[in-house]
Structure 1
Amino acid sequence: MKLIKGVKILLVDDEPHILQFLEMGLVNEGYEVKTASDGIAAIETAEKFAPHVIILDVMMPELDGFEVCKRIKETSEHIAVIMLTAKDEVRDRVKGLTLGADDYLVKPFSFDELLARIGARLRNQFPDLLGEVVHGPFRIDDRRKEIIYMDAPLTLSPTEYELLKFLVLNHGIVLSKPMILDRVWSYDFGGEENIVEVYIRSLRDKLNDKEHRLIRTLRGAGYRMDLL
């Protein structure tokens, strides 16, 4: 992803050394950063700072991350929330996502992974900030609703465009059929999950991905875009 100026990130954690480390790294990447060390301060700072992304720790004094996420999403749905948790438990992840979190990271995590997660959220929720985005052989221009692959524009239906964009922007991440349906077809889609297979097959044909090296199928898990 290109270095972006003007993107605002709020860091929320009660561990000073984590705040300092992340703030230094993100400022170096070109982001505008504010910090908060507890839940109440996080909500107050979010109201004044209006961040694009909030990196939100779960375990904090005053208000925990779940409650902070819930309150922020009630008034600012457009803000992307990435939750940090020391517990690699499904119920914690499900609770955070149910309350409106857009992604999560389990401590300890690498800074490069955090950057990738932030980038994915910006590409999905604030494409106008990025304009044209390049990933491997793909160039996505969301303003023109165009995807260029290997320097050639692809002929895509609106749904194919949204599906391929979702796969590319989340490359390297396993995406389940329910997740794809929710993000591409919307939550109220009343059809069958098999529709995803039909569109994946069409994209593979248009990408000449006969050996499934680009769009990989992980049985029982979903699909993963691997950029060559």
Structure 2
Amino acid sequence: KRFITDAGHEIKTPLSIITADAEVLEMELENDSEDSGEAGSVSSGNEWISDIKAQTKRLSELTQDLISLSKMEETSTMLEMKDLDLSALLKSQTGSFGAVATASNKTISSNIEDGIHIQGDQKSIESLLSIVLDNAVKYCPENGHIDVTASRYKKGAKIEVTNDTSETLSAEECKNMFERFYRTDASRNSATGGHGIGLSMAKAIVSKHKGRITAASGSEKKLTVTIQL
């Protein structure tokens, strides 16, 4: 874990430099285009630069996720526990992801009970909700649907996020998707890649809050992630 944290910080510096270099090169190409009037070659060059920036951003995010996961898994990591309005946080996150879903021809609906409060670390809980919703939208097929529900459960809360899938997942696949970089057969495509470490982070956050997170896929082509806090 210490290695991941230290290496992650070391990797971030060259990534920042690569990004800055790409941005400078992009500006220089645009200036050259204005001077020479040769838009075609510049357009081609900009496509390569855009790809460099996109892949660098992806690697930067992965590096930051690895650092965050490593810190979250450390037993010494302290959370700032306080009373949280989980209903309000989840409604806000669901609303934000509604636009993301619409942009990719997917729909999202919610049934969130009002006034659900829990003791939790706000930053961590917001990350948890974002990870689970992002995963649902990302792996929901085009024209598919995501459903979000939340209700009081025992002394805490239960959240269920259900999304359509391209195929039914086995119990083993549902169990393993919380492992780092695990990829189900249904997720093996170049557009989405695997599940990365997002759900691993979600599991670490839930564990820190002494809760439980599970995934299940019934006979229908759907996946439900259940969080108990």
Per the TM superposition, whether the score is higher than 0.5 is no
Higher relative contact order, chain-length normalized (CA < 8 Å, sep 6+)? 2
User: Into which bin does the TM-score normalised by the smaller protein fall?
Assistant: under 0.3
Q: Which structure is higher in helix share?
A: 2
TM-score by length of 2: 0.25
TM-score by length of 1: 0.26
